[in-house]
Structure 1
Amino acid sequence: MTVLPALTPEAFRKRFPMLRRTVHLASCSLGARSTELDRALAQMLEDMAVGGAPWGAFERQVDEARSRFAALIGARDDQVAVMPNASVGAYQVASTRNWGARKRIVTTTAEFPSIAHVWLAQRACGAEVVYAAPAAEDYAALINRHTSLVSVPLISYYDAARPPVAEVVQAARSVGAEVFVDAYQAVGVEPVDVTRLDCDFLVAGTSKYLLGLPGLAFLYTRSPERTDHAPRLTGWFGRVDPFAFDPYHLDFSTSATRFETGTPAVPACYAANAGLRLIAELNPTTVRAHVRQLGELACERLTEQGEQVRALPPTRRGAHIGLIDADPAALTRRLAERGVVVSPRGDLIRLAFHYYSDIEDIAALCAALRADRAGVGRQPTPSPIDPRSRLSCTQPN
């Protein structure tokens, strides 16, 4: 077993110069920009400028990203497909299934909508989609011998809740159903091991806690070739030999590349490797402890100054907490003007922590909220009867 070097949060934070001027609490949406990311994109431009056609370098980036992600989740390279996003990964799984005797998909009200929409679209193919509340007994009540697929997030995108994945997997196994796990809000800030999860499929992407860019995701498949039929969506990267350039035959690899489609987003591949190299320097258990500690401190400090916080107990949540506000989008914009970056969802603002986050970020957040609540430095909103406003009372009905 490889023992990772002791990298402190302070040393890790130095890889992100933007944090000297910005309080970044939105890693649940987009990770902070690192020096490694800048170097990776510069390397891509250099690869384009020298040595002729850069496609060989681009292919190596794709393969490296696949390999690094596989190592991170305890999978083999041949079990991982490179996807443009998690939704396409979910569709590729759904597209290989026959919705006959086993037509039920059990998902959850805590599912990220983009994944849930893929399941809903299978109704046109004969699937039955049912929703469980994110509790073990609710899943168990819906999983039966007609169930083909059970979908569960490792961490909820909304409030960072941890559904009972182990119990859900056990219930699915008892009837011969397969399990799809969305780990987008988990990989990078806690240990994720597909063998321990005992899942059949898992998706995650590079733009959040993996510190890359949008445009790249990964699909883990336990047994890539054991599907009802071949994927409905395909492309030249899904062929046994993509460089055969044969337009007449459709062959599929026995590895997870059978789920791949066309050319991946090359800049996102370079960025993915930059982020995955950074994550590989960390001990995920240490990262999880760090973000839990910061989450608890933030809950305490925010509550003390009168803010309404939505947060589950530390062992039952992921890397972010929620701040409830009447207008989360507007508050997000105002905090950004004060140098604090957060992520709104529904009726709350998500405050996400990573290994580069520290207590000074929490202090700066609290100070920005105090100033905002007091109206310090805020431009007044025109009244509906202010003659300078377009919503003046002189306007006709």
Structure 2
Amino acid sequence: MSALESGLDSGLEPDAGPLDPAAFRARFPMLRRTTHLGSCSLGAPSTDVVESIGAMFGALAGTVSPWPEWEVATEDARSAFAAHVGAKPADIALVPHATQGAYQAVSTVDLVRRPRLVVSAEDFPTIAHVALAQRQSGAEVVFVPGGEVEEVVRGYAEAIDARTSMVFLPSATFLRGMRLPVARIAALAHAVGARVFVDAYQSVGVEPVDVAAWDVDYLVAGSQKYMLGVPGLAFLYVRPELAHERDPLLTGWFGRIDPDAFDPYTLDFADGARRLETGNHAVPAAYAAGAALRLLERAGPERVRRHVAALTERAAALLTEAGETLAGPSEPADRGAHLALCDPDPQALSAWLVSRDIRIAPRGAFARISFHYFNNEDDVDLVCAQIRAYREPGGR
């Protein structure tokens, strides 16, 4: 029996129907006292996630070994993520974060034969750091500059050539909240035989993600942001028919054909995505991710996207009318789930809002204001009103 079937992890009935935004919001008790607008950094905790971690500790405190139950919960999380992005469980590797996912992918390509790695300057820096570290293996790293969507697409077109082995791109940028046309850029890469690695941390949970429709080779997403889990776990999709030129250099017992063989002399590699796994998974994060993903499925990715887009546009209009400057894309359809508000001291603005029980996510020169399915128009109006108050003389 799976963790979901046992009813211990989420409290969700298997045949329960869809959740509207109000019913979804009711599963997040912290929202009774806090306006959470920082999911682009860390999601809010739901009762489902809290109960799931309680179930994990319940298994730990039992009279028998918790490992069999923990393994079931981990596989449930793998299956839930696979279903969420249109893949099969065998196509998903469990890794601790995007950094390891990116390294595992790039470690399997022949950088002598095709040395070029193409990276977005607007992706989270860890992706670029992984690429730059490959220069000691002969890699040539080319950065695609930021700009409006069409400018970015042209940048990828100019950077990708027959020497390119891998193209890295975010589905939505972590700073400016810009959605990229993943399928279009993937087509540019595949036309010259390059592989495509997508960082979907800022997309999974707030918009439909379909690895087949996007036609990507790798996709990574972590559990702690819009996926509404906790830190410690990321899911790495690997195209099932992908032929790796090399075995990964970073490996461990979970990457073996039979981990339970405990054979120190044999280095074989499992089929599919699991060959890129290393050691034990973060069990609490797996419990939380499984519960959160099932909750998100009840909300429905299409409904979530429409709801979030409406809130984002309302906030953009109110902030612009108040004279604020937004750094994101100009076209509403190109906006992700957060706005990047320009501010001379985003940390100070964030601290002032926190004192009023409003949580945003400052990064660099921007105060990021993000929205999820549990947010509503009152949240938008409140944060915009408080930012106006902050700007007033003596408001601080």
TM-score by length of 2: 0.92
1:172 Cα deviation from its structure 2 partner = 1.0
> How big is the shift at 1:252?
0.7
CA distance in 2, matches of 1:79, 1:166: 19
CA contact (8 A) 2:217 2:242 kept: no
Matched with 1:112 is 124
Give distance in 2, aligned partners of 1:226 and 1:242.
Answer: 22
Match of 1:65 among 40, 63, 77: 77
- In 2: Cα distance, 1:6 partner to 1:39 partner: 20
1:302 equivalent in structure 2: 319
* Displacement of 1:310: 3.0
Residues 23-65 of structure 1: CA distance to partner in whole angstroms, max 9, x if unpaired? 0000000111111111011111111111321111111121111
1:234 counterpart letter in structure 2:
T
Say which SS state the counterpart of residue 384 (structure 2) adopts. helix
Report the count of equivalent residues.
376
Partner residue, 2:159: 142
**Correspondence for 2:186:** 169
Aligned residue in 2 for 1:382: none
Flag the structure with larger Rg.
1
Q: Any unmatched runs of 5+ in structure 2?
A: 1-14, 147-151
3-state SS in 1 of match to 2:369: strand
Aligned match of 2:298 in 281, 290, 295? 281
CA distance in 2, matches of 1:11, 1:376: 39
Q: Which amino acid in structure 1 is aligned with residue 79 of structure 2? A: S
1:69–1:9 distance in 2 versus 1, CA, 3 Å: same
Deviation at residue 373 of structure 1 after TM alignment:
2.7
Match of 1:365 in 2: 383
1:348 maps to 2:366: yes
Structure 1 equivalent of residue 9 of structure 2: none
Q: Among 332, 340, 351, which residue is 1:322 paired with?
A: 340
Summarize the alignment of residues 1-397 of structure 1 with structure 2, pairs less than 5 Å apart. 5-134=17-146, 135-223=152-240, 226-312=243-329, 313-374=331-392, 378=396
1:160/1:4 CA distance change after superposition, 3 Å: farther
Question: Which ranges in structure 1 are unaligned for 5 or more consecutive residues?
Answer: 379-397
Instruction: Judge conservation of contact 1:224–1:256 (CA < 8 Å) in 2.
Output: no
**Residues 163 and 133 of structure 1: is their aligned pair in 2 closer, same or farther, counting only changes over 3 Å?**
farther
Tell me the distance in 2 between the aligned counterparts of 1:146 and 1:374. Answer: 55
Q: Residues 269-288 of structure 1: CA distance to partner in whole angstroms, max 9, x if unpaired?
A: 11111211111112211111
Write the distance in 2 (CA, Å) between the matches of 1:148 and 1:305.
46
* Cα displacement string for residues 71-101 of structure 1 (whole angstroms, at most 9, x for unaligned residues): 1001111110000001100000111122112
Aligned mates of 2:312, 2:35 — CA distance in 1: 15
Aligned-residue offset at 1:6: 4.1
1:307 shift after superposition: 2.6
3-state SS in 2 of match to 1:99: coil
Over the matched positions of the two proteins, sequence identity in percent amounts to 49
**Aligned residue identity for 2:324:** E
In the alignment, the residues of structure 1 paired with residue 386 and residue 289 of structure 2 have an alpha-carbon distance, to the nearest angstrom, of 32
Change over 3 Å in CA distance of 1:224–1:117 after alignment to 2 = farther
Distance 2:40 2:370 in 1: 6
Deviation at 1:258, TM superposition (A): 0.7
CA distance, structure 1, for counterparts of residue 113 and residue 298 of structure 2? 47
SS of residue in 1 equivalent to 2:344: coil
* 8 Å contact kept, 1:44–1:270: yes
Taking structure 1 as reference, are residues 224 and 335 closer, same or farther at Cα in structure 2, changes over 3 Å only? farther
Taking a change above 3 Å as real, the CA distance of residues 320 and 4 of structure 1, as seen in their structure-2 partners, is farther
Alignment CA distance shift 1:50-1:6 (3 Å): closer
Distance 1:45 1:68, change over 3 A: same
